[in-house]
A and B are shown apart, each in its own frame.
Chain A
Amino acid sequence: MLKMKSWTLRFVAQTMLLLFWSAMAVWAIGPKDSSPHGTNIFAPASTPAKAISDLSVFVLVITGIIFVVVFALLAYSVIKFRGRAVDAGREPAQVYGSTQIELAWTIIPILIVIVLFLATARVLHAVQDAPQPPGAIEVTAIGHQYWWEFRYPKLGVVTANELHIPVSNPANPTPTFLTLLSADTDHSFWIPELAGKTDLIPNHPNRMWMDPLRTGIFLGQCAQYCGVQHAKMLLRVSVDSPADFAAWVRGQQQPAVQDASVATGRRVFESNACMNCHAVAGTNANGRFGPDLTHLMIRATIASGAASNTPENLRLWIQDPNAIKPGSLMPAMKLNDSDLDAVVSYMETLR
């Protein structure tokens, strides 16, 4: 019976150790297989994310060592000092404490805390107090229930949900500095591979920056609970080469395409409630409650990443937003089929 007990305890110890190390293995393997679409905090692609990731590994190593040492001591004492049948009825030596030992296990943790604190403070200073270089791109990100508005005040560009920023060359950095605002509740901007998260809080403008070191699409989503559709407030950041970024900006600065073949759809759009919330540059539609639609067709997704930007999805979205994103603040427009087709055709010209 007693033998079995010690076996079960060893089993606990080994199971826990195994679970811990398998978790560690997942973290370690993670970065290698991350596609450009990953959201792994250990696959950093910018300076702040890299600084945080390096610090994280340092903290993990220190806490990992503490874990192994204390775990081993606990497991050892549980196994070694188990009660045995032979000494039943006899009490062990009654020990009340030891000042030397207490001092040792007070001072050593204090030293560890000081080291971890200094390492953290250094990264905090580097990330939070970095000066803005002259070549920086400025973007104002505004959180809405449940989508993202991006404004480039110096470039005169307004877009939604899909942020485009240039890749930054360390020799001649062009980081992006974001001013974070909220139109309603709290949100949080989180692209794990580009930077730690920063909240968007009404009446409390925040700042953050990132200088992506490779091109590609980076994913993330709202991290602060903001209401019914918090889950489908997804983020896409397209990190472009300087030439691609310049071309994208030039395209965005154009007013909307005016295509006479979809005049019916435009009329439906402008004679219904659509234009109260949505803007299409160069037309009468200048609402700001919903995303700017001037270059809708450039975007890969609709509804803040909830669906891919296909004509079928667009049609479904206009007809019944709840089918894609229940609780979204866009009302069902209840258009008849011909109006619906006309509006979708109009949308499809907005490149």
Chain B
Amino acid sequence: MSSNAITIPGVQIDEKPWVDTLHEWVTTVDHKRLGVLYILYALLFLVVAGVEALIIRIQLMFPHNHFVSPQVFNRLFTMHGTTMVFFMGMPILFGFANYLVPLMIGARDMAFPRLNAFSFWLSAMGGFLLYFSLVGANGLYGAGNAPDAGWWAYAPLTARAFSPGHSTDYWTLALLVSGFGSIGTAINIIATILCMRCPGMKLNRMPLLAWLNLVMAGMVLLAVSPLTAAQFMLLIDRYLGGHFFDTQAGGSAMLWMHFFWIFGHPEVYVLIIPCFAFMSEIIPVFSRKPIFGYPVMVAATVCIGFVSMSVWAHHMFSVGMNSYANSFFTITTMAVGVPTGIKIFNWLGTMWGGKIQFKVPMLFCIAFLFQFLTAGLTGIMLGSAAFDSQLTLSYFVVAHFHYTLVGGVVFGVFAALYYWYPKITGRILNETLGKLHFWLFLIGFHLTFDLMHIPGLLGMPRRIYTYEPGRGWDTVNLLISVGGFIQAIAVVIFAANLVVSYFKGKKAGNDPWDAWTLEWATSSPPPAYNFASIPLVASRRPLWDLKHPEDPDSRYE
């Protein structure tokens, strides 16, 4: 397509050839554009991995079903897990961090814009590399065309004896590459928050979103590094004759488990802490009150950051650690519940005495609170090592972590999308479609994941492509699958809303929610430079001070 636009000297026109627009987006170093790219790329993978989940659910609708073969099923759950964690969860949260952190701390960009672009493209290439395995991993007799060792890729399943061909290599390389991207972004977020705050924004005046992303970025540095190292070791095993994890040559399967989970457990907090950040920004605005116990919220987050580094082996209660090790990881795991509980109570304290407005972002936040409460309590059950020896590796675990990752992270992300979409696009998402999306997704979610606890308690292990009839698992599995499809319909409505509202949505103006943080002080969408003049803040809610000069926050802090 070529452009026929006539250029009149001295008159600026908005229409540009699409190639130019594409070029601008691909070469951009603007934190807002990179944020949007992260979010779009993550939404793409949300759809891909969601379709994988639906195929898994069709296969499990009935006992002895033959919708897909065991080989395909194993690839599906491996790809679903890997994609959702590394190419949906992390990128979408990095996207919001990228977009919001500089705006909320009154900066013009991230500390290292080029590193930012580099990190995004590394992460993106990681995702495409993973899916390129569908094309590139074929070739050897008996070799599958997509990774099928599960998203933890336990040794020795990844050894060449058990994973011939290149599917495991694509998995390893995809995670290695995106791991570097994540580390780059983490460094960038930390540097931005520590060095780029606007005048007056002391650390104790920073919006909680910035604080929580600071903790998240620190955890990414500590957690992703061992995983990246382990990927190198796995490659050395597979191609240079190393024996780190090669049990047939005296290597240790346990070593991989420790490497993986010292990444894997902090990782779930890397995913949930930014969602805590969304809650801490959205709930106050729609309750019309400041966050309850700001210093305690910061302390609790930092506490979660530290304690969650010492809980990883609770994923390994069945591997034969002695009773003392199991006891240690029981107490550390349960201890994380304390600061997490404090957070839930503080959000409750924020709503208490407020005037709650049930806009769509707030609906998702309220559902988040109830669901995260439940997920936390099933987490306590799993944290009890003795109880866990029955629950681990069963569908109860699958239900638990989907309760945190869907009921927590996905609901949090939806809340954030409804809340900040007006800032990003200048238009408000349609409220009616939003409510329809919310209620359908809520019903589907509970149908699927509430019921999913039951087959676990009745002895159904995870990662099985089919199951025996007559064990009490049949009806429940059918209903779980039905819930999955209801969620899928809700997501389709959401996608339609994103598109329709982009063109036809109500104009947002600078500050549609009557909010208090700096991103609402600039236009929607913000200009490339964010703020015409760098703001000066005197409290945690600079826009409150502006709107209520008679009773500013700065008087109380």
CB of B43 within 8 Å of the partner chain = no
A202 touches B247 (CB 8 A): yes
Among the stretches A85-93, A153-161, A256-264, A275-283, the one at the interface with B is: A85-93
* Number of interface residues, chain B, beta carbon within 8 A: 102
Q: Which one of A16, A128, A204, A225 contacts B154 once the chains associate, using CB atoms below 8 Å?
A: A225
Q: Which residues of B contact A12 (CB under 8 A)?
A: 366-367, 370, 442
CB of A220 within 8 Å of the partner chain = yes
Q: Which residues of B contact A13 (CB under 8 A)?
A: 370
Q: Which one of B294, B367, B386, B548 contacts A127 once the chains associate, using CB atoms below 8 Å?
A: B386
How far apart are A204's CB and chain B's nearest CB, in angstroms?
A: 6
**10 closest A-B pairs by CB:** A196-B389, A39-B459, A231-B464, A206-B320, A202-B247, A97-B293, A83-B355, A128-B323, A192-B459, A123-B386
Can you list 26 contacts pairing A with B, beta carbon distance less than 8 Å?
A12-B370, A15-B446, A40-B458, A52-B387, A52-B390, A55-B384, A59-B380, A66-B377, A70-B373, A74-B373, A82-B355, A92-B354, A95-B349, A97-B292, A98-B349, A101-B349, A109-B342, A113-B334, A113-B335, A123-B386, A184-B162, A195-B389, A219-B471, A221-B461, A223-B462, A224-B318
CB of A312 within 8 Å of the partner chain = no
Q: Which residues of B contact A284 (CB under 8 A)?
A: none
A102 touches B342 (CB 8 A): yes
How far apart are B532's CB and chain A's nearest CB, in angstroms?
A: 28
How far apart are B96's CB and chain A's nearest CB, in angstroms?
A: 25
Q: A41-B390, A116-B384, A125-B323 are in contact. Are A106 and B342 (CB under 8 A)?
A: yes
Q: A120-B327, A124-B326 are in contact. Are A93 and B353 (CB under 8 A)?
A: yes
B253 touches A186 (CB 8 A): yes
- Contacts beyond the supplied A37-B471, A67-B373: 16 A-B pairs with Cβ under 8 Å: A20-B450, A38-B459, A39-B458, A49-B390, A92-B354, A95-B289, A127-B386, A128-B322, A185-B157, A188-B318, A188-B393, A196-B318, A198-B320, A199-B319, A202-B253, A327-B69
Q: A83-B288, A94-B289, A190-B459 are in contact. Are A120 and B247 (CB under 8 A)?
A: no
Q: Which residues of B contact A220 (CB under 8 A)?
A: 459
CB of B437 within 8 Å of the partner chain = no
B470 nearest CB neighbor, chain A only: A37
B453 touches A202 (CB 8 A): no
Among the stretches A23-31, A288-296, A340-348, the one at the interface with B is: A23-31
Which of A5, A40, A42, A63 has most B Cβ within 10 Å? A63
CB of B200 within 8 Å of the partner chain = no
Q: Which one of B387, B392, B553 contacts A120 once the chains associate, using CB atoms below 8 Å?
A: B387
Which residues of B come within 8 Å of A, CB atoms?
Answer: 69-71, 74, 148, 150, 154, 156-157, 161-162, 247-248, 250-254, 287-290, 292-296, 318-320, 322-323, 326-327, 330-331, 334-335, 337-338, 341-342, 344-346, 348-349, 351-358, 366-367, 369-370, 373-374, 377-378, 380-381, 384-394, 439, 442, 446, 450-451, 453-454, 457-468, 470-472, 548, 551, 553, 556
Q: Which one of B254, B337, B393, B459 contacts A201 once the chains associate, using CB atoms below 8 Å?
A: B254
Q: Chain A contact residues (Cβ within 8 angstroms of B): what range?
A: 35 or more
Q: Which residues of A contact B327 (CB under 8 A)?
A: 117, 120-121, 124
B390 touches A192 (CB 8 A): yes
Q: Which one of A73, A120, A190, A230 contacts B330 once the chains associate, using CB atoms below 8 Å?
A: A120
User: Which residues 168-217 in A have Cβ within 8 Å of B in the complex?
Assistant: 180, 184-186, 188, 190, 192, 195-199, 201-204, 206-207
Which of B288, B293, B387 has most A Cβ within 10 Å? B387
Which residues of A come within 8 Å of B, CB atoms?
Answer: 5, 8-9, 12-13, 15-16, 19-20, 23, 26-27, 30, 37-42, 49, 51-52, 55-56, 59-60, 63, 66-67, 70-71, 73-74, 77-78, 81-84, 87, 91-98, 101-102, 105-106, 109-110, 113, 116-117, 119-121, 123-125, 127-129, 180, 184-186, 188, 190, 192, 195-199, 201-204, 206-207, 219-232, 234, 326-327
Q: Which residues of A contact B385 (CB under 8 A)?
A: 120, 124
Q: Which one of A129, A204, A227 contacts B162 once the chains associate, using CB atoms below 8 Å?
A: A227
A203 touches B253 (CB 8 A): yes
Q: CA–CA, A15 to B465, complex, Å? A: 31
Q: Which one of A70, A109, A180, A223 contacts B461 once the chains associate, using CB atoms below 8 Å?
A: A223
A78 touches B366 (CB 8 A): yes
Q: Which residues of A contact B458 (CB under 8 A)?
A: 30, 38-41, 192
Q: Which residues of B contact A77 (CB under 8 A)?
A: 348, 351-352
Q: CA–CA, A180 to B439, complex, Å? A: 48
B355 touches A87 (CB 8 A): yes
B157 touches A227 (CB 8 A): yes
A198 touches B356 (CB 8 A): no
Q: Which one of A91, A188, A223 contacts B288 once the chains associate, using CB atoms below 8 Å?
A: A91
B352 touches A105 (CB 8 A): no
Q: CA–CA, A120 to B454, complex, Å? A: 22
Q: CA–CA, A327 to B69, complex, Å? A: 9
A41 touches B353 (CB 8 A): no
A121 touches B330 (CB 8 A): yes
B458 nearest CB neighbor, chain A only: A40
How far apart are A272's CB and chain B's nearest CB, in angstroms?
A: 22
B358 nearest CB neighbor, chain A only: A5
Q: Which residues of A contact B387 (CB under 8 A)?
A: 52, 55-56, 59, 120
Q: Which one of A39, A56, A81 contacts B355 once the chains associate, using CB atoms below 8 Å?
A: A81
A228 touches B70 (CB 8 A): yes
Q: Which residues of A contact B335 (CB under 8 A)?
A: 113
How far apart are A159's CB and chain B's nearest CB, in angstroms?
A: 21
B399 nearest CB neighbor, chain A only: A23
How far apart are A161's CB and chain B's nearest CB, in angstroms?
A: 14
B377 nearest CB neighbor, chain A only: A63
Q: A55-B384, A186-B157 are in contact. Are A222 and B461 (CB under 8 A)?
A: yes
B323 touches A129 (CB 8 A): yes
Which of B322, B323, B342 has most A Cβ within 10 Å? B323
Q: CA–CA, A121 to B148, complex, Å? A: 36
A225 touches B150 (CB 8 A): yes
Q: Which residues of A contact B293 (CB under 8 A)?
A: 96-98, 102
Q: CA–CA, A123 to B466, complex, Å? A: 33
A78 touches B393 (CB 8 A): no
Q: CA–CA, A118 to B465, complex, Å? A: 38
Q: CA–CA, A109 to B290, complex, Å? A: 25
Q: CA–CA, A267 to B357, complex, Å? A: 82
B317 nearest CB neighbor, chain A only: A196
How far apart are A175's CB and chain B's nearest CB, in angstroms?
A: 17
Q: A82-B356, A121-B327, A223-B461 are in contact. Are A52 and B157 (CB under 8 A)?
A: no
B358 touches A105 (CB 8 A): no
Q: Which residues of B contact A94 (CB under 8 A)?
A: 289-290, 551, 553
